[in-house]
Amino acid sequence: MTDVELTTAQKETLRMEVKALGDQIRALKESKADAELIKEKIAKMLEKKKLLGDEGGGKFVLKCPKGTRDYGPKAMAIREKVLRIVTDSFKRHGAETIDTPVFELRDVLLGKYGEEGGKLIFDLADQGGELLSLRYDLTVPFARYLAMNKVTNIKRYHIAKVYRRDQPVMTRGRYREFFQCDFDIAGQYDAMLPEAECLKVIDEVLTSLDLGDFQIKLNHRLMLEGMFAVSGMKESDFKTVCSSIDKLDKVAWSEVRSELIDEKHIDQNAVDKLQKFVRIRDQNVTASNEELLKFFEKDTETGANASVKKAVTDMRLLLDYCSIYGIDKNIQFDPALARGLDYYTGAIFETVVKGYTMECQSGDDKRNGTASADEISSTNVGSVAAGGRYDNLVAMFSPKKQAVPCVGVSFGIERLFSIMEMKAESEKSTVRTTETQVFVASAQKNLLRERMKLCKLLWENDVNAEMAYKANPKMLTQLQYCEERSIPLVLIVGERELQEGVVKIRNVENRQENDVPLADLIDELRKRLACC
Amino acid sequence: MTDVELTTAQKETLRMEVKALGDQIRALKESKADAELIKEKIAKMLEKKKLLGDEGGGKFVLKCPKGTRDYGPKAMAIREKVLRIVTDSFKRHGAETIDTPVFELRDVLLGKYGEEGGKLIFDLADQGGELLSLRYDLTVPFARYLAMNKVTNIKRYHIAKVYRRDQPVMTRGRYREFFQCDFDIAGQYDAMLPEAECLKVIDEVLTSLDLGDFQIKLNHRLMLEGMFAVSGMKESDFKTVCSSIDKLDKVAWSEVRSELIDEKHIDQNAVDKLQKFVRIRDQNVTASNEELLKFFEKDTETGANASVKKAVTDMRLLLDYCSIYGIDKNIQFDPALARGLDYYTGAIFETVVKGYTMECQSGDDKRNGTASADEISSTNVGSVAAGGRYDNLVAMFSPKKQAVPCVGVSFGIERLFSIMEMKAESEKSTVRTTETQVFVASAQKNLLRERMKLCKLLWENDVNAEMAYKANPKMLTQLQYCEERSIPLVLIVGERELQEGVVKIRNVENRQENDVPLADLIDELRKRLACC
């Protein structure tokens, strides 16, 4: 999956070999040696050059690091809009926010993301002192924060960038530096109430973003454990079976079946038995959640399994709460939802936006550190918000192994940015990159000081205002600037206006102009800006 | 200045030596060897142990990396308040915002921060691929962004964390990870207009933060060059003389003089001549800026120097513009202001808040990468906002060496957080960490579903609301929670209220309660919350 990347030392060796081959080729040519031999040496040199990649021959290359991007003003405007919607929802639910350093002691991250995830951690160089790594998600730093500060209950959100040395696919929204927006509820509470609020937050955010239809898939760790047990799977195969099952929304059962039997050597009878359970949603697309829960209750085997029973009770209560919150219609119980990470202990969920198609890897959010390139869906943008209950993670950091039950959701915000960018483009809507409300212009020369005085008045009255940084700007240039930037109002200062003690207000959109007495200016602007 | 930090390899060697000495000591004790010899070995072992520092003997230590901190909910509330004030001001002046990756190609940063600064850069480990380093400030990434995207004019702000492997002094607000808030104006404009706006922004932000008196010191690169030339300094000594002169606000002239003559071997006559110019503000504290500018014009030597003439013209114009903006009273021309970095080409400025004393290093902002521990002031919090004009930095990144004139200001926001934290403490003001407006409570059992319905109603009407995650919470616990968190209103659901179709609203502060018909609830809440 990952292209091999060379260390500096390996590159240096290659460069020396290329140079040596170049010398040999020149010598061979000079001595008019066998053409085949020269050809062979050239091929060898080109091969090594290729390995070195598109190095600019030591020339300075002006670029962002691989897998990262700058956000220009337009991208930032969209990013801020998305983040504001997310933050507003988090605050509406009474969440506090925290922040942690961008790097952690390497030991804090070690062994938290499985074998695959661990390889993707960015390490800092050993320059003396502690060994550090860039954070891989916000969940492990959150758990470290809770354990370190002995916090046993908190509803917090955290919006920050995380880092993964993954093979980037930037067109699909997969970066090495990307945002995560996490909302988590830690504390010992009554069953399913925090879960219901997490699902309500997902519903609110996606509704506010106005992205069209979406669906929240729901399952439970104990449902998976129960189904596997009843089918005759070994407990030790839990993780590997989950990872195959999780692909069912993208590949056919036959493929998953053969992966389980032929590659992972799971007992064929167990696999075939499991089919009946994990494909139940697939084969009953229109069945209600309650109908599927009843199926598991009535089935003689799952109905007798304690794990399944607990999972059914939990999910029935959660769905009941969701109906009170008015969000049940978008939630679908799916026994095939398995998610990536190992630390879930209860309900798990994953949200898919239906309307937008985009080549996109599913799940670059925190709960899916081990997503690989083969999990790419070309039919929709994939998971945009996912999470679940993880009751044992904090104890891993606690000296006294004190457990702090947690449930949370992480928004795959990079993908939401991409969707919003696509949306803005398709609707041909103008994206404003500043919040300037008034531009102060002048039609004649030598009015710089008057423009400055007006700007001062506006700024001091909390009106966002700009003027040209020229002593004598051209009127046309000033008006063009306003139209390009969608600045709603222009104040025009002129000799006549000054003498009469008025200012001319121009509406940029309809080009109407009115004189307003200077004394009434701020009131008039407030009135006009309130309706913009 | 910096404690020596050991690499992992060095530590490993030390640990082995300690272990070997331990073995020797045990053997010596067993063989009842000479007590002096044993003592000597023990001393040696303790010395090496000391070098290893307070290692937890391989035990897992739960902490943030050296020089970094978590921001808990309270610190975040203060941080967000400060950032909002700064951001509002930047937007009021029509600035756009951009963001760049937290790391840059190592080559982009190399050679931009002088010898001292360069040592403080955090490198990422070479895990294959590009060599990367964490950003050291926001100015170099900004210049890289402008050159890469061929942007020739932009007014942008950038608020983000930067990283310096400095010796942290956290009680003084010096961290290895800290925020910078930069506002820069790039473009070819008429003289001093962008500078005046930068100073206006400083004035606005510090006034909004309500930190009491502050002073913006002003000087000009050409004023320094002119004074040095007239005094007979060598051009090649510019940087080193500047760095001594810059200390004049903290140490006496005699000390600076001896540093220049004895340590830096600057000609004694030149130093004594320079005194007359750089100490003019010091010796004329109450003189107006215009009086000092006139002094330089009338002095036969500086008055004839082209650099000084240009600097006087520039500063006179800038001060004129500042008086139009109504901010001249806080600005003081000081020929001794030299600032740290080399890249300034015009006006330079630095802001000091007067009212707060705090052991604080001066200038951990971007324009002062080489600040060292001896620049510590115990009399005030030091520079909180500084900047200047740098017209040649962008050209360093431009393939065609295209210059983009820039001027900007950087707020030392970490110090502002500390001041605001001190202020909040001294005023004993409560810092709210959530924006919850309404808590939904119940006095009796079995009203969970009713509370949930009310929460749904509130959330859907954009009211920030919370309830207890318990089926049957105690009334007292619920009210205490509201008082602790300064939640202004409580809705109380009860059997009677349900029957009568009303909800009880309780004002947490004055404990008054009123019944409101459910149909009028949202209107009533809006009315009450508008005045909170």
Cβ contact, residue pair A129, B91, below 8 Å: no
Stretch 59-78 of chain A: residues touching chain B, C-beta under 8 Å:
60-66, 68-73, 76
* pLDDT number for residue B211: 79
Residue A481 labeled ligand binder: no
* pLDDT number for residue B364: 37
Sort out which chain B residues have CB atoms less than 8 A from A104's CB and list them: 64-65
* pLDDT number for residue B425: 76
* pLDDT number for residue B122: 96
Residue A261: DSSP 8-state: I
CATH topology of domain B8-52: Helix Hairpins (1.10.287)
Q: Give the minimum alpha-carbon distance from A374 to chain B in angstroms, rounded to a whole number.
A: 23
Q: How many helices (H) and strands (E) does chain A have?
A: 18, 17
Assess A434–B contact: CB distance below 8 Å, yes or no: yes
Q: Out of A64, A96, A464, name the one closest to residue B73 (CB).
A: A96
pLDDT, tens digit (0-9, with 9 covering 90-100), for A83-115 = 999 999 999 999 999 999 999 999 999 877 766
* Residue A376 Ramachandran class (φ > 0 left, ψ -120 to 50 alpha, else beta): beta
Q: Give the minimum alpha-carbon distance from B205 to chain A in angstroms, rounded to a whole number.
A: 12
Residue A11 has pLDDT above 80, yes or no: no
Lowest-pLDDT choice from A12-26, A314-328, B173-187, B382-396: A12-26
Q: Give the minimum alpha-carbon distance from A390 to chain B in angstroms, rounded to a whole number.
A: 17
* pLDDT number for residue A353: 86
> What is the average per-residue pLDDT within A322-338?
96
Residue of A nearest to B193 (CA): A469
Residue A184 labeled ligand binder: yes
* pLDDT number for residue B22: 84
Class of A215-354 in CATH: alpha beta
Residue A293 has pLDDT above 70, yes or no: yes
User: Residues 6 or more apart from B306 whose CB is under 8 A from it?
Assistant: B226
| ipTM score assigned to the predicted complex | 0.82
Sort out which chain B residues have CB atoms less than 8 A from A99's CB and list them: 70-71, 76, 79
* pLDDT number for residue A24: 84
> Is residue B66 a contact partner of residue B91, using CB atoms and an 8 Å limit?
no
How distant is the alpha carbon of residue A338 from its chain centre?
20
* pLDDT number for residue A461: 96
Cβ contact, residue pair B436, A145, below 8 Å: no
Residue of B nearest to A132 (CA): B65
Lowest-pLDDT choice from A147-156, A477-486, B107-116, B288-297: B107-116
Q: Give the minimum alpha-carbon distance from A375 to chain B in angstroms, rounded to a whole number.
A: 24
Residue A94: DSSP 8-state: T
Q: Out of B107, B125, B165, name the one closest to residue A123 (CB).
A: B125
Q: Out of A122, A189, A463, name the one closest to residue B469 (CB).
A: A189
CA dist., res. A370 & res. A244, Å (int): 13
What sign for the dihedral angle of Cα A235, A238, A239, A241?
positive
A401 CB burial (10 A radius; 0-12, 13-18, 19+):
exposed
* pLDDT number for residue B531: 65
Helices (H), A69-168: 73-92, 106-109, 114-119, 139-148
Q: Give the minimum alpha-carbon distance from B400 to chain A in angstroms, rounded to a whole number.
A: 12
Residues of chain B with pLDDT under 70: 1-5, 53-60, 114-116, 340-341, 355-382, 531-532
pLDDT band at A291 (very low <50, low <70, confident <90, very high): very high
Cβ contact, residue pair B127, A123, below 8 Å: yes
Range list for CATH 3.40.50.800 in chain A: 438-531
Residue A374 has pLDDT above 50, yes or no: no
How distant is the alpha carbon of residue B386 from its chain centre?
11
What length is written for chain A?
532
Residue of B nearest to A460 (CA): B204
Sort out which chain A residues have CB atoms less than 8 A from B98's CB and list them: 70-73, 76
* pLDDT number for residue A259: 94
Lowest-pLDDT choice from A52-56, A130-134, B152-156: A52-56
CATH number of A65-212+404-431: 3.30.930.10
* pLDDT number for residue A532: 52
Sort out which chain A residues have CB atoms less than 8 A from B177's CB and list them: 101-103
Stretch 108-137 of chain B: residues touching chain A, C-beta under 8 Å:
122-132, 134
Range list for CATH 3.30.930.10 in chain B: 65-212+404-431, 215-354
Cβ contact, residue pair B94, A325, below 8 Å: no
Q: Residue B5's closest CA among B46, B43, B55, B41?
A: B55
Give B270 or A171, the one with higher predicted confidence: B270
Assess A484–B contact: CB distance below 8 Å, yes or no: no
CATH topology of domain B438-531: Rossmann fold (3.40.50)
The beta strand positions in A164-204, using DSSP E, are 177-186
Cβ contact, residue pair B7, A127, below 8 Å: yes
Query: Phi and psi (nearest 5°) for B57?
Result: 55, 40
> Is residue B368 a contact partner of residue B340, using CB atoms and an 8 Å limit?
yes
Q: Residue B369's closest CA among B398, B348, B339?
A: B339
Residues of each annotated binding site of B for L-histidine: 137-139, 164, 180, 184, 339, 343-344
Sort out which chain A residues have CB atoms less than 8 A from B204's CB and list them: 459
Q: What is the DSSP string of A439-469?
A: EEEESSSS-HHHHHHHHHHHHHTT--EEE-S
Assess A189–B contact: CB distance below 8 Å, yes or no: yes
Residue A344 labeled ligand binder: yes
User: Residues 6 or more apart from B82 whose CB is under 8 A from it?
Assistant: B209, B413, B416, B417, B420
* pLDDT number for residue A63: 93
Q: Out of B101, B107, B177, name the one closest to residue A68 (CB).
A: B101
Q: Strand pairing of B383-389 and B347-353?
A: antiparallel
> What is the average per-residue pLDDT within A356-385?
46
Cβ contact, residue pair A124, B126, below 8 Å: no
Cβ contact, residue pair B129, A6, below 8 Å: yes
* pLDDT number for residue B532: 52
Cβ contact, residue pair B465, A94, below 8 Å: yes
Q: Out of B96, B148, B469, name the one closest to residue A434 (CB).
A: B96
> Is residue B504 a contact partner of residue B515, using CB atoms and an 8 Å limit?
yes
Give A239 or A155, the one with higher predicted confidence: A155
